[in-house]
Structure 1
Amino acid sequence: MTLTVCVYFRVYFSGLVGLLLILTAEARVGNSSESHLCTESKECLLYDLVCKNDDYEVRHYDSVKWVSTDEECYFMDKATYIAFRRLFKYITGSNKAGVNIDMTAPVTVKIEEKKKMWASSVFTISFLLPSDYQMTPPQPTDEKVYFTETPDMKVYVRSYGGWMMSLASSVNSMLLKRQLDNVQATYNKDYHYAVGYDSPMKILNRHNEVWYMVEGEPVCPTSS
């Protein structure tokens, strides 16, 4: 009798833990109605606002999974064009399950901080996996496509409108770095993210961001 009860509770507890893990994985990939940033996709990457001032904000993101690919180029624009098409094929059936996967927002581009002016860089472009595929996404058929997972993290965020082109992204990353350095904030200086929320078909009210990962305690004075 005692053994039966122990087995029952072990199975029950294991199932409960599994359910909690699934809920946790889906918790921060949610309905786009919960975010003003996502206007075209069903699901969006959700976050908690830590603090905000006139120059930037600090956000907290839970760990989530992405489908990613790398492209080495001199300019982000060309790398993004090539990589976007590769990832789009994955979500439109070029995967081992042959399933179509809903597009989400945002799309991120991980950019190395260049040490030399005219050196090429490896850009990592990522699509956020929808909540239904956060745990078990279908395997890619293209060997250049793989899965990544961003950690539980805080990021410094600067927002801007228009199109996420190389020049605009570079200018805004430079401005954000200057603002962070002015307040002696510590952040990862090896790379940053260019982040886009809109499809090419959207013309007005576009939204883009630059992210730097916080190191240590975030600094967010009311004015800088």
Structure 2
Amino acid sequence: MLSVSMNLLMMRLCLFLFLVSKLCNGYSTKLNFYPPTCQRIECPNYDLIESGKDYEIRRYDSPMWMSTAPIDDISYVSATRTGFLRLFDYIQGKNKYHETVKMTAPVIIQVKPSDGPFCASSFVVSFYVPKKNQPNPPPAKGLHLQKWGDTYVAVRQFSGFIADDDLPREAAALSASIAGTNWAAAIDKSHAADNTTLYTVAGYNSPFEFKNRVNEIWFTFDLEKALAI
């Protein structure tokens, strides 16, 4: 019990020092930590909190996403294709305002894995809304807006085109990288509070880019919620 209390105290201290540093230094996004795609098209801002062995901890400051309804499918590849086409139609003007929207990165896929190998998982595919459109994002049938609060993310990068078999392997590798850290405990507590086992896949390249592809597996978590438990 004493060890757990000390860990929570240290996490609260780290959070306090981080917030103080932001107040003193102002907001700064280090673009050199971004995937290369984010030097060409708009991506959500984040602060790099920690860079560990094979993982990063980031803090995203209230990003806004246009999202599909949950897509039930046994295949990540199939569900992603379905969701991406809906979002592509959206940015091409198939929305209430008939307004075209600039492409951004990443496209994220929130995954709630199934209970068995032949059962459908649930996938929500989302497009980052550009800052220009955030005050009044065009609504569209079958899509809904997600606005995150301050969200912490444990991140692992990997390359290539994503296959269904990649996801459990990359998620397990991220879990192994953060095992034994305070972040792992915070993620477990946050997910337990939400009664979910979500992980998220972030893709930064179009389907027509074959070189230098960057993908990420994310564990999102609410640090304040985890510290409150």
Normalised by the size of structure 2, how large is the TM-score?
Answer: 0.74
Give the Cα separation in 1 of the matches to 2:109 and 2:99. 25
Runs of at least 4 residues off by over 4 Å: 32-35
Deviation of 1:174 after TM superposition, in Å, equals 1.4
Task: Give the secondary-structure state (helix, strand or coil) at the position aligned to 2:171.
Answer: helix
Distance 2:34 2:215 in 1: 13
**2:197 aligns with one of 186, 190, 196:** 190
The question of whether the paired residues in 1 share the 8 Å contact of 2:66 and 2:126 is answered with yes
Deviates further, 102-111 or 155-164:
155-164
Say whether residues 1:166 and 2:164 are aligned partners.
Answer: yes
* Deviation for aligned residue 1:155: 0.9
Q: Which moved more, 1:33-42 or 1:177-186?
A: 33-42
**Distance in 1, Cα, partners of 2:179 & 2:102:** 39
Give yes or no for contact 1:107–1:125 (8 Å, CA) kept in 2: yes
Alignment partner of 1:123: what SS?
A: strand
Q: Is 1:179–2:186 an aligned residue pair?
A: no
Supply the AA of the counterpart residue of 1:133: N
SS at 2:165's partner residue? helix
Seq. identity, %: 31
Q: Which residue of 2 aligns with 1:97?
A: 97
**Structure ranking higher in helix proportion:** 2
Secondary structure of the 2:43 match is strand
Given the alignment of the two structures, is residue 212 of structure 1 paired with residue 206 of structure 2, yes or no? no
Question: Partners of 2:44 and 2:223 in 1: how far apart?
Answer: 23
Mapped partners of 1:36, 1:176: distance in 2: 18
Q: CA–CA distance in 2 between the matches of 1:128 and 1:47?
A: 13
Pairwise CA distance, 1:139:
1.5
Note the aligned Cα RMSD (angstroms).
Answer: 2.3
- Runs of 5+ in structure 1 lacking a partner? 1-27, 218-224
Give the equivalent residue in structure 1 for 2:131.
131
Count of residues in correspondence between the two structures: 186
Aligned to 1:65: 64
Secondary structure (helix, strand or coil) at the match of 1:203 reads coil
Mapping of residues 1-224 of structure 1, within 5 Å: 36-39=34-37, 41-69=40-68, 70-140=70-140, 143-183=141-181, 185-186=184-185, 187=187, 188=191, 190-214=197-221, 216=223
By how many angstroms is 1:169 displaced? 2.3
Tell me, which stretches of 5 or more residues in structure 2 are unaligned?
1-26, 225-229
Q: Kindly state the Cα deviation for residue 152 of structure 1 after the two structures are TM-superposed.
A: 0.9
What letter matches 1:49 in structure 2?
A: L
Deviation string, structure 1 residues 84-111 (Cα, Å, up to 9, x no partner): 1011101101011111100000000000
TM-score, normalization: structure 1?
0.75
Aligned AA (1:37): P
